[in-house]
Amino acid sequence: MTATHTARTPTAKEQWATGLTAFGAVMLMLAGLMAIFRGIMAIAHDDVFVATPNYVFRFDLTGWGWIHLILGVVAVVVSAGLLKGAPWARVCGVAIAALIIIASFLSLPYYPIWSVVVIAFSGFIIWALCVVRQDGSSGLLD
């Protein structure tokens, strides 16, 4: 006797959910890589960035470099978890993207255009990871 397994085709909602999670994971990986590169630049050569003398949030650029580097490494690890379908990764992905937004906001005077791009990028990540419900269905097609 052989057991037969029927292959089930995913519904449109499940396909949307899978696609948005993959989108969020890839975007988070890219944001993490950008944060890693920005961190390395600030650590290796902190005179690369323009320092503004009268900014409320005044920090050492080498310290900011380490913050960006650590956030970037964690973002890459979380994005790998998202790609593998780990349940913890969605919440961690939203949290890391939010921390990247905060770090980019605080570093606006040092690299304004790049910071605005990363803030927008991280906003898309949060959207992609939040629009999918726990049951795997997307909120777009309900």
Could you report the per-residue pLDDT of 43-98, keeping only the tens digit for each? Answer: 887 555 555 566 555 666 778 788 889 999 999 999 999 989 888 898 999 999 99
Sign of CA dihedral 30, 94, 125, 136: positive
CA distance 103 to 75: 13
What's the pLDDT at 33? 92
Q: Structure pTM?
A: 0.73
What's the mean pLDDT in 113-131?
88
Kindly state the greatest CA–CA separation across the chain: 79
